[in-house]
């Protein structure tokens, strides 16, 4: 079983790595190109945005090879195909936000009918659990799938940020699943991580291709649905809390974005430049540095998920405090030390490219 786990990762990685250059060629032929038209864009020239094809193929092929006997996995792969197609159509046609939202809800409902759902909440401070009623189960499941699907899409604003964050999240959930004996989730998450990491060399700053909505929606959807497969396996493996911890960065960013837009009386689905990665860029960190900083935050939250799953409460709270402190320092101290760094090393090519973004 251990060999199959890493083979699923390796197959997904190699397929995604090989298919990304192919996706770049296809993108230009079908018009899947991102042209910077507003101030939100971090790039200055047209970029292919069809890299999600490589992530989708790598992940799907690996899961079909090693997990094809699991009925729930097949349901999730069907939903993954549908959400990927939705993203590709959006990349090509720029669908209205309401249309995308309704289709996502329909796909989430389909997953519910396939028994991919949140049916109970574990008692975190004791034994036993609280079963949700059928109506609440339906509502919570749909909200969870649609919400997490869109969190990855919303943080896809810097080169390599969404792919790297999704990979970190997948690897952390895979480890938690493995140590608690949920091997199907571990193998599936490793396949997802492999697909994201196979694409990342072409997507890290300076990127030569974007994943597009097809890739970001697919990653978010797979994270949201695969994480639900562990709910009935163990009271310790808390299927909702673990992903919430691992995906703490995009979830926080998404929640803050919704709150910000409500306060400003703007449509919730309207794009803006108030996301955490935009704030870091505005402070002058540059794409490479900002992305690596956010990787660190995601990694710490992933470790917090591991400690939480093993009932290490003090360690988990300590990691929360470290994460909050890091974000505070990132957002408040930049203007004090970044000018010093630039003055000391003005001729460094990395610093120059970060300043030019």
CB neighbour burial string for 58-84, b if at least 16 within 10 angstroms, e if fewer: bbbbbbeebbeebebbebbbebbebbb
Residues 120-160 pLDDT 10s: 665 555 555 556 678 888 998 999 899 889 888 877 778 88
Phi and psi torsions of 345, nearest 5° = -140, 50
Structure tokens at 335: 């203007």
Q: What does the alpha-carbon distance between residue 97 and residue 268 come to, in Å, rounded to a whole number?
A: 10
Q: What is the count of structural domains for the chain?
A: 1
- pTM (2 d.p.): 0.80
Give kind and range of the element (H or E) at residue 269: none
Q: Which of 31-35, 231-235, 258-262 shows the lowest per-residue confidence on average (mean pLDDT)?
A: 231-235
Rounded to whole angstroms, the Cα distance separating 327 from 297 reads 8
Q: pLDDT tens, 94-110?
A: 899 889 999 999 999 99
Token reading at 213: 């909505």
Calculate what percentage of the chain has a pLDDT beyond 70. 69
Average pLDDT over residues 299-322: 85
Are 161 and 211 within 8 A, CB to CB? no
- Residue 54's pLDDT is 97
Phi, psi of 101 (to 5 degrees): -65, -45
For 265, left (φ over 0), alpha (ψ -120 to 50), or beta? left
Higher pLDDT, 272 or 77: 77
Q: Provide the domain limits for residue 267.
A: 2-356
User: Are the C-beta atoms of 243 and 224 separated by less than 8 Å?
Assistant: yes
Q: Is the pLDDT of residue 341 over 50?
A: no
């Amino acid at each position: 079983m251990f060999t199959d786990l890493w083979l699923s990762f390796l197959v997904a990685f190699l397929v995604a790595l090989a298919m990304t250059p192919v996706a770049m060629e296809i993108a230009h032929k079908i018009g899947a190109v991102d042209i910077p038209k507003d101030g939100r864009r971090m790039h200055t020239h047209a970029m292919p945005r069809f890299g999600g094809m490589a992530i989708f193929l790598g992940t799907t092929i690996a899961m079909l090879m090693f997990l094809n006997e699991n009925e729930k996995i097949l349901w999730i792969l069907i939903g993954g195909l549908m959400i990927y197609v939705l993203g590709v159509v959006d990349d090509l046609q720029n669908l209205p936000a309401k249309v995308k939202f309704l289709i996502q809800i329909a796909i989430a409902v389909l997953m519910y009918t396939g028994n991919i759902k949140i049916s109970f909440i574990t008692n975190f401070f004791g034994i036993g659990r609280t079963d949700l009623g059928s109506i609440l189960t339906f509502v919570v499941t749909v909200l969870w799938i649609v919400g997490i699907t869109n969190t990855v899409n919303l943080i896809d604003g810097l080169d390599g940020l969404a792919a790297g964050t999704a990979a970190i999240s997948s690897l952390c959930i895979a480890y938690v699943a493995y140590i608690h004996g949920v091997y199907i989730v571990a193998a599936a998450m490793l396949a997802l991580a492999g697909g994201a990491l196979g694409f990342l060399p072409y997507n890290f700053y300076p990127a030569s291709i974007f994943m597009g909505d097809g890739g970001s929606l697919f990653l978010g959807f797979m994270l949201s649905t695969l994480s639900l497969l562990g709910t009935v396996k163990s009271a310790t493996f808390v299927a909702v809390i673990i992903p919430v911890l691992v995906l703490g960065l995009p979830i926080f960013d998404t929640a803050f974005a919704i709150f910000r837009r409500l306060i400003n009386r703007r449509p919730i689905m309207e794009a803006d430049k108030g996301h955490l990665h935009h704030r870091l860029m505005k402070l002058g960190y540059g794409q490479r540095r900002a992305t690596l900083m956010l990787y660190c935050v995601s990694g710490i939250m992933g470790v917090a998920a591991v400690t939480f799953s093993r009932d290490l409460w003090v360690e988990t709270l300590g990691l929360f405090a470290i994460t909050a402190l890091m974000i505070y320092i990132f957002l408040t101290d930049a203007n004090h030390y970044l000018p010093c760094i630039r003055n000391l090393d003005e001729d460094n090519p990395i610093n120059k490219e970060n300043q030019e973004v």
